[in-house]
Amino acid sequence: MSTHLVTGISELTTQSSEEARPESAENRVLDAAMIVEHGRIAWIGPAANAPAADQRTDLGGRAVLPGWVDTHTHLVFAGDRSAEFEARMAGQPYSAGGIATTVAATRAATEEQLVVNALRLRLEAARQGTTFLETKTGYGLDLESETRSAVAAAAVADVVSYLGAHVVPPGIDRRDYLDLVTGPMLAAVAPYAGFVDVFCETGAFDVEESREVLLAGRAAGLGVRVHGNQLGHSGGVALAVELGASSVDHCNHLSDADVAALADSPTVATLLPACDLSTRQPLAPARRLLDAGASIAFATNCNPGSSYTSSMAFCVATAVLQMGLTVREAVWAATRGAARTVGAELGPGAVGSLRTGGHASFQVLDAPSVSHLAYRPGVPLTVAVWKNGERLGFAPPAGGLSL
């Protein structure tokens, strides 16, 4: 394998600062270059100091940043809920009840159909710069369909979360369903999963039920994540902090005590701005969380019900334009901050940062700096994506950029 010099980088966002501060000068190199070898970054720094290499790619003065790390998606599903979306835009509230529609369609689908649909979305995300992605089960909700969903999830995602506790499906007693989720279903899905997750919310699972599910998952060797405080003060955030969860996701309705608890804990608040907009919930208080000292991440929550987008760039632009973050804070939360929620922030397997020895997984913007992600909202700026040292082969953008 030869060495490959990537040059012509107007601004390289590395996110490699040990201090873990988005605005640190260490995280940004102007007029930069990288050498890629064996899928990893062999050298990174100012272009003027770049060593020679066997091959060379000139990016022509474009910005480079780590690939997006999308750690909250639900890609394994069948069916369409655009009618529910239209009704919501006409004033109907979002509720957990819509999940049952997707469960029925998912149960009726073959494993192949589930994989093909999930792969379509995974590729859609990759084309837009996502190089690491988590996805969940949670639309099967019986032993056979959840297991099938876990197989499909593992085929398309870098990490899988087991969300048997999404809602109690129709036709089964609540207690019997909890026994299934914490017993045979957990045993069947755990070999494919890295995390257990629960929807702790009115209409889904209360705090005691959620604790039971999460402790069973942890006993089976899984990390812990929680859907919490999406539609109200569900107690999910307090539970996540109590259990030392890797992440609590949504966080739309937070008390001062919730914010203080997150600030004092290693649990990351994963915020889902596209979902907030699509469900007309208040935007999660990203600024308040950061100012209090909590760690945050952004994710798409790509799913057919509450957030049907795979665009991390949309989430970043929303975080800047509507949630009060700087561009660098938002980019950090969509890359290295997100990596923290899956235990992949540091070390040889780290994602979400670009550093010597790390994975060469990055995206190229057709813009001179990351500020254009919010300065030019809605514009598909990602024009090339590299994952583990290989450029992903998508059709070139209109206008024929040749890199």
Q: Please report, as ranges, the residues that interact with ligand NIG according to CB under 6 A.
A: 74, 98-99, 102, 199, 227, 230, 275, 301, 303, 305-307
> Which tokens go with 143?
């032993």
Residue 251 or 275: which CB sits closer to ligand NIG?
A: 275
First to last CA, the chain: 20
Kindly state the smallest distance separating residue 304's Cβ from ligand NIG, in Å: 6
Q: Are 332 and 23 in contact (CB under 8 A)?
A: no
| Calpha distance 357→39 (Å, rounded) | 9
**81 annotated among ligand-binding-site residues:** yes
| Calpha distance 279→95 (Å, rounded) | 9
| Calpha distance 385→387 (Å, rounded) | 7
**303 annotated among ligand-binding-site residues:** yes
Residue 283 or 292: which CB sits closer to ligand NIG?
A: 283
> Which tokens go with 44?
């990174």
What is the chain's length? 403
**305 annotated among ligand-binding-site residues:** yes
Q: Are 390 and 363 in contact (CB under 8 A)?
A: no
Residue 161 or 295: which CB sits closer to ligand NIG?
A: 161
> Is residue 36 classed as helix, strand or coil in its secondary structure?
strand
**49 annotated among ligand-binding-site residues:** no
Neighbours of 27 (CB within 10 A): 23
> Which tokens go with 329?
């804070």
**127 annotated among ligand-binding-site residues:** no
**74 annotated among ligand-binding-site residues:** yes
Residue 131 or 309: which CB sits closer to ligand NIG?
A: 309
Which residues, 6 or more positions from 29, have their beta carbon under 8 angstroms from its beta carbon?
9, 11, 12, 14, 44, 45, 46
Kindly state the smallest distance separating residue 344's Cβ from ligand NIG, in Å: 21
Residue 50 or 238: which CB sits closer to ligand NIG?
A: 238
Kindly state the smallest distance separating residue 379's Cβ from ligand NIG, in Å: 26
**Helix (H) or strand (E) run with residue 86 in it:** helix 82-89
Q: Supply the angle between the helices 111-127 and 143-156 in degrees, to the nearest 10.
A: 30
Residue 68 or 94: which CB sits closer to ligand NIG?
A: 94
Kindly state the smallest distance separating residue 271's Cβ from ligand NIG, in Å: 12
Residue 97 or 184: which CB sits closer to ligand NIG?
A: 97
- Strand 296-298 and strand 268-271: the pairing is parallel
| Calpha distance 375→47 (Å, rounded) | 26
Please count the helices (runs of H) and the strands (runs of E) in the chain. 15, 15
Residue type, 73: T
Kindly state the smallest distance separating residue 197's Cβ from ligand NIG, in Å: 9
**306 annotated among ligand-binding-site residues:** yes
Q: Are 192 and 154 in contact (CB under 8 A)?
A: yes
**162 annotated among ligand-binding-site residues:** no
Kindly state the smallest distance separating residue 88's Cβ from ligand NIG, in Å: 10
Residue 246 or 301: which CB sits closer to ligand NIG?
A: 301
Neighbours of 10 (CB within 10 A): 17
> Which tokens go with 210?
């959620």
The residue of the chain with the least Cβ separation from ligand NIG equals 305
Residue 5 or 99: which CB sits closer to ligand NIG?
A: 99
Kindly state the smallest distance separating residue 278's Cβ from ligand NIG, in Å: 9
**230 annotated among ligand-binding-site residues:** yes
Residues that constitute the known binding site for N-formimidoyl-L-glutamate: 139, 303, 305
Residues that constitute the known binding site for 4-imidazolone-5-propanoate: 81, 139, 166, 230, 306
Residues that constitute the known binding site for Fe(3+): 72, 74, 227, 301
Residues that constitute the known binding site for Zn(2+): 72, 74, 227, 301
Residues that constitute the known binding site: 72, 74, 81, 139, 166, 227, 230, 301, 303, 305-306
